[in-house]
Structure 1
Amino acid sequence: MHAEFILILSLAVIILISPFISSIFRFPILAVEIILGAIFGFIGLIGENEIFSLLSETGFLYLMLLAGMEINLKEMFKLEKKIFIYAVLFLILMYLLSLLSVFFLGFSKIFIVVFPLVSVGLILSLQQEIGKKEWLELAMKVGVIAEVVSIIVLTLLSSYFEFGFTHRFFVNISILMAVLISLAVLFFIMRTLFWWFPEIKFYLMPGIDKYHQDVRIAISLFFIVIVLLYKIGIDAVLGAFVVGVFLKTFFEHNKSLEHKLAPFGFGFLIPIFFVHVGSSLDIKLLSSTMLVDSFYIVLLMILIRIFASSVFFRVLNLKSILFGISLSMPLTLMIAVAALAHQNRTINDYWYNVLVVAAVMEVIVVMIGIKVLNRFIVKSFHF
């Protein structure tokens, strides 16, 4: 019980002081939370704990819920054909450049999966730091497509490691395809239903609501979908994100829902996730060689995205660089792939730690780098 009290107090202190440290040093707050998590973990104030791990995972899924609420499917379907083609070209280029990097630089084949990973969750945290930008909104839309591809690749990899090319592998893939098709059909049904009976939306989420019915529905859907996907063996990240998209698309009349959900996430659950990521780093194992290798991977991943984002140059001009860099933070997906590869002995202990350090380092480098580059590009080129 004593360890639990220390853990709770440590988390409370980190959550309390992080905004002040962030303001003083002008560091992104999530970078501060990761660093403090690593320091507190190193001195023994934060350690592995089942409740801590559960809260951390919930925090990340909640972040994905909020990220999903930035996407309105009706607007996605109105996406210009040109932008959609650019998005597909961006993905193809990313995977092609990753393949070439692995082939010419001698990395393990697992890096073909690692290098092109994309997650949009942290783009929302970036938006909290620098505000809404045209290139950032486009990054969110393109990132949605890229993340779905990343989750499919991760699911395929997980099934392959667990079952090999056996009957069970193809069963898992069939389940994933069935879930994606079912979601598409469900969205079509809900769109038709709300078109014929729009009053249902206002009944479920009324304008005047003293019982906070909108929040209850959102949180209930969040947990129901996550549990269902866990039960059928599909990554819950997809479920949390889909719930957010569903709420934004079909209950767009409720402008206050996102503002009600965000403070609880960014003020409590999401900081715990970042602190947990920091505490998972074993500072004692760090060496100059490991840091150099981690930075090398971070640099490669950022460069791959900058080159791939050149397809958007006609649309964004020099801001295409910011667009590409903003999609360079696949923190949890990268750690998930590293854990899978390590468990199945595709990579050794050293490269597992390199990937974890790289995943954390990438967030810090990208968050700080974008803030600096954004000011430089706006001032220098008057965008």
Structure 2
Amino acid sequence: MTDNIILIVTISLIIIFSPFFAKILRLPTTPIEIILGSLLGYVGFLHDEHLFDLVAEFGFLYLMFIAGTEINLKNVLKTPVSVMKKVVVYLAVLYGFSIAFSVQFDLGKIFIVLLPLISVGLVATLAKEYGKTPWIALSMTVGGIGEVASIVILTISSAALKSGFGLGLFQTIMALLAFLLFMFLLFRSMQLLFWWFPKVAIALMPHNDNKEQDIRLSMGIFFLLIGAMLFLHLELAFGAFLAGIFIPTFFEHKHELPEKLASFGFGFLIPIFFIHIGSSFDLNALWINGLIREAVIITVVMILMRLIASLVFIKELGLIDTVLFGLSHSMPLTLLIAMATLAYTANSIDQLHYYAFILAALFQVISVMIIIKLIHIYKMRKAKD
């Protein structure tokens, strides 16, 4: 009982004081939460607890949900063909670089999947801090497409690691294809319904809403799609991400809703997820021979390959915003940790590389957030001059 009280108090204090530390150190809040979680977990104030794990998992899913709310599918489908072609080239460069690097250094097939992972979860935190700038808007669009590809690959890889390349993998692929087809038909049906009967959307989410009907419906969609993922044995993050896309796509009249949903998440659930990530990393592992070197190499490679691939968009964004765009995709924290954990559990990577990927995920968040902050300050000063 005493341990659980200490756990609750510690989490509460981290949530309360992380913004103050972030302001003093001039760092984003996210890496502060991870670092504090790691340090306080090491000294024993944070420990494994089922409820802590459960809320952290829910925080991760809610982060993916918030990331989805940043993407309006109608706008994505209106993306010019020229830009879509560049998105394909961007992803092709990432996976081509990953294949070449993994083959050159004989790293194994799982590295081909791990290195190009894209997650827009932390891009959503950038949008909250820096606003809807052109590079963030494009990052969300391209990242959304890339994340769908990453989660599809994650789902298939997860099935392959657990059941091998047999019947289980085939069933997972068929379930995934069937779900994607169903979601496509559902999106089209809702698009037609709301086009013919626009008042339906307002009835579901009225302008004058004193019963928080918009929040209730949002949470209902969120849990329904997570339930569908559980039933189909697919990646839960995929369902949460798609649930988020529903909100801006079909309820455009509720402009303030994504902000309301994000405020709750970033003020409560999402910090617990980042604290849990920090607490799950054993600081004693830092003494493993070669660990930090491997983590730094993975960090540098993952950032460089995204910066190189992002040059595809230099005409649209200019050099500085292209760099920011590439950096924004260099923090696939959630998916990288999830996939590394699956690979380690299935004995596809050894303990050294497992800890290296966890540490690299932290290095990426901290270093990229700081670099983006410095570049943003430079841009602001340049704009004033």
Q: Normalised by the shorter chain, which TM-score bucket?
A: over 0.9
2:279 counterpart residue number: 279
Report SS of the residue matched to 1:6: helix
State the alpha-carbon separation in 1 of the partners of residues 137 and 291 from structure 2.
Answer: 35
2:54 counterpart residue number: 54
Tell me how far 1:382 sits from its aligned partner.
8.2
State the alpha-carbon separation in 2 of the partners of residues 91 and 199 from structure 1.
Answer: 39
1:293 counterpart residue number: 294
Q: Confirm or deny: 8 A CA contact 2:331 2:365 kept in the other structure.
A: yes
Tell me how far 1:111 sits from its aligned partner.
1.0
- Pairing 1:175-324 to 2, within 5 Å after superposition: 175-287=175-287, 289-318=290-319, 319-324=321-326
The one-letter code of the counterpart of 1:244 is G
1:146 counterpart residue number: 146
CA deviations on 1:125-161 (whole Å, 9 max, x unpaired) are: 1222222210111011000111111111111111111
CA distance 1:382–1:144, change in 2 (3 Å): farther
1:119 counterpart residue number: 119
1:38 counterpart residue number: 38
State the alpha-carbon separation in 2 of the partners of residues 373 and 299 from structure 1.
Answer: 18
Tell me how far 1:107 sits from its aligned partner.
2.4
Tell me how far 1:381 sits from its aligned partner.
8.2
1:65 counterpart residue number: 65
Q: Confirm or deny: 8 A CA contact 1:335 1:355 kept in the other structure.
A: yes
Q: Confirm or deny: 8 A CA contact 2:205 2:214 kept in the other structure.
A: yes
Tell me how far 1:240 sits from its aligned partner.
0.9
CA distance 1:256–1:377, change in 2 (3 Å): closer
Q: Confirm or deny: 8 A CA contact 1:130 1:371 kept in the other structure.
A: no
Aligned mate of 2:372, from 354, 370, 378: 370
Q: TM-score, normalised by structure 2?
A: 0.96
State the alpha-carbon separation in 2 of the partners of residues 281 and 10 from structure 1.
Answer: 17
State the alpha-carbon separation in 2 of the partners of residues 372 and 62 from structure 1.
Answer: 29
The one-letter code of the counterpart of 2:114 is V
State the alpha-carbon separation in 2 of the partners of residues 263 and 316 from structure 1.
Answer: 29
Gaps of 5+ in 2: none
State the alpha-carbon separation in 2 of the partners of residues 168 and 293 from structure 1.
Answer: 33
Report SS of the residue matched to 2:55: helix
Report whether the alignment pairs 1:347 with 2:349: yes
State the alpha-carbon separation in 2 of the partners of residues 158 and 64 from structure 1.
Answer: 18
Tell me how far 1:48 sits from its aligned partner.
0.8
Tell me how far 1:274 sits from its aligned partner.
0.5
- Pairing 1:330-341 to 2, within 5 Å after superposition: 330-341=332-343
Report SS of the residue matched to 2:39: helix
Report whether the alignment pairs 1:359 with 2:367: no
What is the root-mean-square deviation in Å for CA atoms of aligned residues?
A: 1.5
Tell me how far 1:306 sits from its aligned partner.
0.6
Q: Which deviates further from its counterpart, 133-142 or 284-293?
A: 284-293
1:21 counterpart residue number: 21
State the alpha-carbon separation in 2 of the partners of residues 353 and 171 from structure 1.
Answer: 31
Report SS of the residue matched to 2:71: coil
The one-letter code of the counterpart of 1:33 is E
State the alpha-carbon separation in 2 of the partners of residues 250 and 297 from structure 1.
Answer: 40
The one-letter code of the counterpart of 1:7 is L
State the alpha-carbon separation in 2 of the partners of residues 295 and 12 from structure 1.
Answer: 32
Q: Confirm or deny: 8 A CA contact 1:30 1:271 kept in the other structure.
A: yes
The one-letter code of the counterpart of 1:182 is F
Report SS of the residue matched to 1:286: helix
1:130 counterpart residue number: 130
CA deviations on 1:234-269 (whole Å, 9 max, x unpaired) are: 111111111111111111111221232122111100
Gaps of 5+ in 1: none
Tell me how far 1:67 sits from its aligned partner.
1.2
Tell me how far 1:229 sits from its aligned partner.
0.7
State the alpha-carbon separation in 2 of the partners of residues 192 and 269 from structure 1.
Answer: 35
Runs of 4+ in 1 over 4 A off after TM superposition: 377-383
Report SS of the residue matched to 1:45: coil
State the alpha-carbon separation in 2 of the partners of residues 183 and 363 from structure 1.
Answer: 32
The one-letter code of the counterpart of 2:169 is F
The one-letter code of the counterpart of 1:249 is T
Q: Confirm or deny: 8 A CA contact 1:102 1:112 kept in the other structure.
A: yes
1:75 counterpart residue number: 75
The one-letter code of the counterpart of 1:166 is G
Q: Confirm or deny: 8 A CA contact 2:247 2:258 kept in the other structure.
A: no
- Percent identity between matched residues is 42
1:325 counterpart residue number: 327
Tell me how far 1:378 sits from its aligned partner.
5.4
Tell me how far 1:311 sits from its aligned partner.
0.8
Tell me how far 1:109 sits from its aligned partner.
2.6
State the alpha-carbon separation in 1 of the partners of residues 278 and 194 from structure 2.
Answer: 44
Q: Confirm or deny: 8 A CA contact 1:64 1:237 kept in the other structure.
A: yes
2:99 counterpart residue number: 99
Aligned residue pairs total: 383
